[in-house]
Amino acid sequence: MINYSNPDLTQHPPRSVRVRIGGYAHLARLLDKARAVIANKGADYHYNCPLDQQLFAFVGVTADAMLAEIKAGKTDVEILTWLNANTKRQPYEVLAWSAWLEQLGPGDAEGHEWIASVIKGNKSAREDIRSFAEMLDLDDFISYGGKA
């Protein structure tokens, strides 16, 4: 059984970008990565990656402030409460931003090449991967034993 209050990303991937907490896409994944990195069980996952930075920019909190709350041992719900108290975003903005983030793609040629290299590196023949969320889900699945 996976313990998301103390995730071990050497054994399982973090939750998907698409898993929402309080309407926020990516927040669950960010929390899993942060908790695992704090416990030295982060594998190749990084806290404050570009997708994490998208969330921080949207809500207006810093990576360090969020990390301090996570280090204090707060639960997902307690982090959500803290986040909502420290952002001026309205629920409709959170839902719209989350829908946007789930569809966010690389945009430029370099980003498309990076996604293609991840797909090729996983020996996948998938041609339908367009967003970072789709690419991360595929990479997580294959990295932990799924078939390409």
**pLDDT tens column, 89-140:** 999 999 999 999 999 998 888 888 888 888 888 888 888 888 999 999 998 9
Rg (CA), the chain: 15
In a domain, 97, yes or no: no
pLDDT in the model for residue 2: 82
Domain that holds residue 63: 1-89
User: Degrees (nearest 5) of the Cα angle 64, 102, 81?
Assistant: 45
| Distances in whole angstroms, Cα of residue 113 to Cα of each of 40, 104, 108, 121, 130 | 31, 15, 9, 12, 12
Q: 33: part of which helix (H) or strand (E)?
A: helix 27-38
Residues 16 and 64 in one domain: yes
Check whether 146 has a pLDDT greater than 90: no
Measured CA to CA, the distance from residue 56 to residue 87 in angstroms comes to 10
| 52-86 pLDDT per residue, tens | 999 999 999 999 999 999 999 999 999 999 999 99
The total of other beta-carbon atoms located within 10 Å of residue 122's CB is 16
CA angle 110, 126, 129 (to 5 degrees): 50
Which residues on adjacent β-strands are paired with residue 75?
A: none
The per-residue pLDDT for 4 is 83
The answer to whether residues 83 and 114 belong to one domain is: no
* pLDDT of residue 147 exceeding 90: no
Q: 87 pLDDT exceeds 80?
A: yes
| Residue 90 pLDDT | 97
The residue assigned the tokens 């945009």 is: 107
Is there a domain that residue 143 lies in? yes
Residue at 26 is within a domain: yes
What is the per-residue pLDDT for 129? Answer: 87
pLDDT of residue 91: 96
- Give domain status of residue 100, yes or no: no
Angle subtended at Cα 93 by Cα 87 and Cα 98, rounded to the nearest 5 degrees: 100
Q: Tell me whether residue 98 is in a domain.
A: no
Count of domains forming the chain: 2
Structure-token pair, residue 37: 């990195």
Q: For residue 81, give the amino acid letter.
A: T
